[in-house]
Amino acid sequence: MTPSKSNPLSWLASLRLTVTLLALSMYLIFVGTLAQVENGIWWVVEHYFREGTYGIVWVDFDVFRSLVYPGSAGNVSIFGIESHPFPSGFVIIALLLVNLLAAHAVRYKMTGKGAALGAGFGLVFVGSAITAYTVLEPKTSAAIQQDVMLMMLIWTVPMTLIGIGCYFIFGSRKAGIVLIHGGIILMLVGEYITGIGADEGQMWIHEKGSSSKIIDIREVEIAFVTPTGDRTQEHIIIPQELIEAADEDDTLIENQTLPLTVRIDAWMENSDLLPSINGADPTQVQYRAEEVPAVTGTEQRADRPSVMATLFRGGERIGQHLLTTWEFVKPVEVEVDGKVWAVSLRFRETHLPYTIQLVDFRHDQFTGTTTPMNYSSTLRLEAPNSAESRDAFIKMNQPLRYDGKAFFQSGFFQQPLNRNLGTIMQVADNPGAWVPYLSCVIVTVGLCMHFVISLMRYGRRANARA
Amino acid sequence: MTDLEYAPMTKRLTILLLAPLLMLGCGEEPAIERYEVTLPVAFDWPETQLREAAVEVDGFSWTWEVPAGWVDAPEVPDQLIADYRFPGATDYTLPGRMTVSKIDGDAGGIEANVMRWLQQLYVTTARSLGPKDKISQPMSMGVGDATFVELYGQYQGEHNPTRISAAIVQIPAEGGGVFQTWFFKLAGDEATIEQNRMGMAQMILTFRPAGTPRPVLPGLDEVEAPQEGEAPQGGNEVEADETTESTDEL
């Protein structure tokens, strides 16, 4: 049936809109890829695809400079205009979702009747309930996500039930396509879940060491840390947004929670340290920070922010200090009301209620070369709250999954002096990590169904003609 | 069912899907945060006892005593003869490491090797010996002369140790000169090194050809507790500032 032109859903369901949105998304991906050269992938993901301002991103013409004049400097403008507005990735996805849902509302009708329709809905419900259980029940979810292939195989069963249900509801011609579209819709929704809920960081542990700390090298914070017991500390955190705002507005950072008032005298997004030896003792090195350009997306290193901050205790000026993410500079120690606070600028930290220990790290190389063949870590997980203690072995593409997080082997470090090795793990906390896998299973089942049903229909017609 | 009957459902779904976008536009205001952190469970090191190590190098068998608490590294790199690890001074300080290596001849001399170690302790500044650094006079022991070295480095962050305590043992050749130079190098955090210096002294002073009698170690065999700042084993230590001429040559 052709949708009525007077139907307001017809415009939303049009294929022209689909093609337009896909073209817009292609352009956004193209300029986003170019923008990565200067700004890095995380900046582009946040500014082009997820955030924007009220769903609008401003694409700088400067991003095309690397195509036209590689290696050149200066701003690119067209008739004096340096950027143009464009819908953000999230807006395009939302419109694609609306387009797809409208298409279903307009073009796809339920053809099943009576008991068949009831059985169809029943099968869809059972399949959805089984899938929801595997995703939402924490232990089952954690167990099956340890093995991606197993997880996808398990999901094939409920998806087949849903597929048969769709067959009863929508008929043989549409059932497979409904399933395929369902998979695509889920994938689009999954990007929202990832965009809103995902977090990522690194965990560094030296051999025979332990850690419960995840650091995010994309953000910094000023931390005030004081011991509160043998094994406990109090942390008070000033996030990067407040540091930058205080620097820009020339305001003090003061709050009842903070033990000290902080004035940001200089904020350096990226910095180098200039050392100088203080007196005759070469171990007593003093540092001065110098602002340097932020790293570009093609550089294999991170920005090292620093701040020059003046600390005040109850109106009394304590002094100006360099706080920096460079590890050579110790935190500043200040006593306030009998408590000693260590003040530092550090990469944003997240502390876990459990510990990961590095029992052993292996860095295998191809024989006779320094080319890495494999990194692997033997870990021990200690969760005092649940009295859980277990060993795990991780290597590239074989992460440890625990507490909704995946601990991927991403690299290693070596202490310069005693050459002890340590592991670097990328810790991904993505509540939507399972969505693309489930989407793939749904689309695969839908494609298989559509193909088999079409083949059978073709066979019947061929037989009838014969 | 007509097409229009689907419209309310689609509208609701559209609003539902666009809601996250609106929510993103009204993101949380950044705020000062306060929280309590429980420190991670410290690594549970295996317990080891005082034991005798035996190695064969270039057809010669050697032995020494390995202090209690020191653990054999899972794999000894090719350039090393032995590799031991031991816990840091506290639950959260870095583990220490003792390595044993050997080079034929005089290996460029003691000064060149001390200079090499100094470079490992300093990443941002070139330097010479500091006031806390010490190099002992060569001390005669069974197999040859041992020179004890104490070096301090600059702070390099929580993942990097800052102290070396080492001994260079030169084994004389029969016709004169140096047959082999052995390096016993203890590297780690300052407090960790202090805790393990006596263990290192015991290891070096019991270093001998296999099958020869173990020397008696006055003081060490009586299990005396190490004193702060104490020299490993009575070597004639010379403060760096008292040997300006010799250290300038390093």
Quote ipTM for the complex.
Answer: 0.76
The secondary structure element, H or E, covering residue A143 is: helix A138-145
Residue B236: what pLDDT? 41
A62: amino acid identity, one letter: D
pLDDT of residue B127: 67
Chain A residues with CB inside 8 Å of B127's CB?
Answer: 277, 282
CA A367/CA A270 separation, integer angstroms: 39
Please give the Cα distance from B107 to B105 (Å, whole number).
Answer: 6
A142: confidence class by pLDDT, cuts 50, 70, 90: confident
Query: Which pair of tokens denotes residue A46?
Result: 């946040």
| CB contact (8 A) between residue A417 and residue B120 | yes
In the DSSP assignment, the letter for residue A78 is B
pLDDT computed for residue A441 by the predictor? 94
Identify the burial level of B136 via C-beta atoms within 10 angstroms of its C-beta, where 0-12 means exposed, 13-18 middle and 19 or more buried.
buried
Residue type, B211: G
Kindly state the average pLDDT of the residues A248-256.
92
3-state helix, strand, coil in chain B (%, to 5): 25, 30, 45
d(CA A253, CA A343) in angstroms, rounded, equals 14
Q: Which residues pair with B168 in a beta bridge?
A: B147, B183
In this model, does residue B108 exceed pLDDT 70?
yes
Subunit contact A210:B74, Cβ cutoff 8 A: no
CB contact under 8 A, A416 and B156: yes
Q: How many other C-beta atoms can be found within 10 angstroms of the C-beta atom of residue B200? A: 24
CA B51 to chain centre: 20
Confidence band for A72, pLDDT divided at 50, 70 and 90? low
The beta strands (E) that lie in B90-225 are given as: 96-104, 134-136, 139-140, 145-152, 163-172, 178-188, 208-209
Contact A282 B127 (CB under 8 A): yes
The more confidently predicted of residues A388 and B2 is A388
Q: What's the pLDDT score for residue A165? A: 93
Q: Choose from B4, B39, B164 for mutation: most chain A CBs within 10 A.
A: B39
Give A234 to chain B, closest Cα distance, Å: 5
A277 and A328 Cβ atoms separated by less than 8 Å: no
Residue among B40, B130, B157 whose CB faces A355 most closely: B40
Between CA B92 and CA A204 the distance in angstroms is: 14
B12: pLDDT strictly greater than 60: no
Closest CA to A28 of A81, A90, A101, A112: A90
Reply yes or no on whether the pLDDT at A70 is more than 70.
no
- A97 contacts chain B (CB < 8 A): yes
> How many CA atoms lie within 13 Å of A141's alpha carbon, on the beta-carbon side?
18
Token pair 């590689």 is found at A70
Average pLDDT of the residues in A51-60: 79
- Average pLDDT of B198-218? 88
Report the distance separating Cα A179 and Cα A443, nearest Å. Answer: 6
Give residue for tokens 């976008």.
Answer: B21
Residue B225 vs residues A254, A317, B93, B196: alpha-carbon distances, Å: 50, 45, 21, 11
Q: What is the largest CA-CA distance in chain B?
A: 109
Residue A151 has pLDDT above 70, yes or no: yes
CA–CA distance from A43 to each of A46, A52, A76 (Å)?
Answer: 5, 11, 20
Global confidence as pTM: 0.76
Chain B nearest-CA distance from A67, in A, is 32
* Helical packing angle, A175-197 and A89-107, nearest 10°: 160
Which residues on B lie below 8 Å from A235 (Cβ)? 34-37
Using CB atoms within 10 Å of the CB of residue A166, give its burial: 0 to 12 exposed, 13 to 18 middle, 19+ buried. buried
Beta-carbon separation of A420 and B14 below 8 A: no
- Residue B239 pLDDT more than 50? no
pLDDT value at A224 more than 90 = yes
Kindly determine whether residue A236 and residue B33, on different chains, have CB atoms separated by under 8 Å.
yes
Out of A121-125, A337-341, B159-163, least confident range: B159-163
**Average pLDDT in chain A:** 88
